[in-house]
Structure 1
């Protein structure tokens, strides 16, 4: 790859990230969330109660970031925290009834975001696009040495669970 190709590729990836985040912010405001909050709500919806450390690992960010995000969601009445029965130092986060009620609206918003994101595509779509983006996400994770955060969708999306601590 030469410099011109590298600049085009890096510019496209940067633009995609910035524009997708802006569009996500617009869509998520419709359900009362900010970008990033939806990931925690969906993680709890998929996997049930999690420790803040588990949430940080799933989100690929540092524990202080999760603590702040959880406090904001708690203030909105969407999650509740309680001490872990397994580890006195850990806090377990779970969806409140209001948080669970938000899951269907959040799923609809996520579909709206995905549809808006690909609405103008003419050359690539469907499974090919998902595979290419999955490969790109995996490649970027490997290149950055980042934590293992699954990009590919899980079939059991947004189910309530009783998860052990």
Structure 2
């Protein structure tokens, strides 16, 4: 791949990431949330209670980031953390009734953001997009074993 193509790809991904996050922030602000917190709430709504380390893995976030988010969401009454019965060093995180209600408010915003993001794209492209984006994410996942030049 030549530099011009690489630059075009990298710039497009960078700009999409920045603008998507900014748009998400604008949609979440009226709910008193910051980007990232919605993903945590939606993950718990999807899966139910889970150990904080598992939540970190599911979100693809570093544990200190999840710890900070859980502290803020716990202080606002949207989640609760309790020691895991099997390991007192681990915390189980679960939604409160307030958190469940908030997750329900996030869902239509999330749908609107996705629709806004893919506006004008053919339905076939929209259907293929999650697979493509997940493949791109996997390609740059720092937790994977790296091979020089992708080989």
TM exceeding 0.5: yes
CA distance in 1: counterparts of 2:80 and 2:137, whole angstroms: 33
User: Normalization by structure 1: what TM-score?
Assistant: 0.80
What pairs up with 1:63-142 in 2 under 5 angstroms? Answer: 63-119=63-119, 121=120, 124-142=121-139
1:31: Cα distance to partner?
A: 2.3
Q: How far 1:27 sits from its partner (Å)?
A: 0.7
Distance apart, 1:130 and its partner CA: 4.0
Query: 2 CA distance for matches of 1:142 and 1:59?
Result: 17
The structure where helix makes up a greater share of residues is: 2
Change (3 A) 1:146 1:131: farther
- Structure 2's unaligned 5+ residue stretches are 145-151
Contact conserved, 2:25 with 2:35, CA < 8 A, in 1? yes
Aligned length: 144
Distance in 2 between the 1:133 and 1:3 partners?
Answer: 26
Higher RCO (C-alpha under 8 Å, 6+ residues apart):
1
- Greater shift, 35-44 or 101-110, is seen at 101-110
Number of the residue aligned with 1:54: 54
Structure 1 unaligned runs (5+)? 148-165
The separation in 2 between residues aligned to 1:70 and 1:127, in whole angstroms, is: 37
